[in-house]
């Protein structure tokens, strides 16, 4: 897929869609309209957008506890997403999953995951199915730097490499495992070094540069489709908000200066500058996109608020799959 103007605009729309969705979700969470936990993706938009724009419709993605961005980037329905975050019956999971389990199997988005690293073996399983069927699909798994300290990651990475499965490992290194600095939890600087232990080629990309991420993703996807096994892409990114919730500044575990400095590298600003300088879009055009997406987000919020809570009679639904035609 060549880097066309349309592709650049597409990447932009996906990033803005994530940011405006997440900002709205943050406000709703602060206003107690969203129950439970919320892990927002603001700051990391380039990763989801850059990778997802490179995917074919049949490729799968698996996500993390910070999973809204991946589903938005995959083309998720903002209405059903917002409704799910609010625990409404109209949500993607009918209010059974919430923020941490949001999914859209029709879009081959195999779910966010409440267990750090828990989605990695599952993504490798989807990759196995692709290889089993020789259907040319690739499974892409998103995970954070912290997840690479979990055994499941290592088992799954080794398995994918040993069985030469079509999987792309996308590490979003945002420098923090919850509220703990990466250099306190691992003795290496670049997470990609871990891929070498499994014989998996890897690269480091600027996680604030959606185009660089797109190009790295394409390389991994093509390699997988050629039957050459998994690839590891480490994206050096940054999480603007806290691990949980919306607080940005005044945190004990990191300095405000550090946050401000990361925001100077903001992926959306950078991409917009690229669009304008390349003559792909005008400032006015960008503004129109923002307004259109904001209207879509506002509509999703309204839809969520207007939606009913799940009926208590649905509590026990879907514990088991039933054979065709059978009811409990």
Residue 95: closest CA among 104, 106, 86: 86
Contact region with another protein (CB under 8 A), list: 129-137, 182-190, 269-277, 290-298 = 129-137
Residue 228: closest CA among 308, 167, 147, 319: 167
Residue with tokens 């690229």: 274
Q: From the CB of residue 219, how many other CB atoms can be counted at a distance below 10 Å?
A: 16
Binding of residue 323 to another protein (CB under 8 A): yes
> From CA 166, how far away is CA 304, in angstroms rounded?
37
Binding of residue 103 to another protein (CB under 8 A): yes
The continuous run of DSSP H or E covering 10 comes out as: helix 5-30
Binding of residue 201 to another protein (CB under 8 A): no
The binder of another protein chosen from 12, 68, 94, 271 (CB under 8 A) = 94
| 328 Cβ contact list (under 8 Å, min separation 6) | 316, 320, 322
Size of the site for another protein (CB under 8 A): 49
> From CA 313, how far away is CA 144, in angstroms rounded?
37
Contact region with another protein (CB under 8 A), list: 64-72, 107-115, 229-237, 247-255 = 107-115
Interface of this chain with another protein, residues 50 to 79, rule: CB under 8 A: 60, 62
Interface of this chain with another protein, residues 134 to 163, rule: CB under 8 A: 139, 151-152, 155-156, 158-159, 162-163
The binder of another protein chosen from 63, 99, 113, 237 (CB under 8 A) = 113
Residues lying near another protein in the complex (CB under 8 A): 60, 62, 91-97, 101, 103-105, 108, 110-111, 113-115, 118, 120-130, 132-133, 139, 151-152, 155-156, 158-159, 162-163, 317-323
């Amino acid at each position: 897929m060549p880097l066309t103007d349309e592709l650049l605009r597409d990447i932009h729309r996906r990033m803005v869609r994530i940011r405006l969705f997440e900002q709205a979700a943050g406000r709703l969470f602060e206003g107690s309209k969203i129950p439970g936990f919320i892990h927002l993706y603001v700051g990391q938009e380039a990763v989801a957008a850059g990778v997802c724009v490179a995917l074919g419709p049949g490729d799968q993605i698996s996500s993390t506890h910070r999973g809204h961005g991946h589903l938005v980037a995959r083309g998720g329905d903002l209405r059903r997403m917002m409704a799910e975050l609010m625990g409404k019956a109209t949500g993607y999971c009918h209010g059974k999953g919430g923020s941490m389990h949001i999914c859209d199997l029709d879009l081959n988005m195999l779910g966010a995951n409440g267990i750090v690293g828990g989605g990695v073996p599952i993504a490798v399983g989807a990759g196995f199915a692709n290889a089993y069927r020789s259907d040319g699909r690739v499974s892409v798994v998103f995970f954070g730097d912290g997840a690479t300290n979990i055994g499941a990651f290592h088992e799954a990475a080794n398995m994918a490499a040993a069985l030469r499965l079509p999987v792309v490992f996308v590490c979003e290194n945002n420098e923090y495992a919850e509220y703990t600095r990466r250099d306190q939890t691992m003795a290496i600087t670049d997470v990609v070094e871990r891929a070498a232990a499994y014989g998996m080629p890897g690269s480091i990309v600027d996680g604030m540069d959606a185009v660089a991420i797109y190009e790295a993703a394409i390389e991994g996807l093509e390699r997988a489709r050629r039957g050459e096994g998994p690839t590891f892409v480490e994206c050096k990114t940054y999480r603007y908000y806290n691990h949980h919730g919306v607080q940005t500044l005044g945190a004990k575990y990191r300095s405000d200066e550090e946050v401000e400095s990361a925001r100077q590298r903001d992926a959306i600003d950078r991409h917009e500058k690229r669009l304008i300088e390349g003559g792909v879009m005008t400032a006015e055009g960008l503004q129109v996109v923002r307004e259109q997406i904001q209207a879509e987000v506002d509509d999703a919020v309204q839809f969520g608020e207007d939606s009913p809570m799940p009926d208590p009679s649905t509590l026990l639904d879907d514990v088991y799959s039933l054979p065709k035609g059978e009811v409990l």
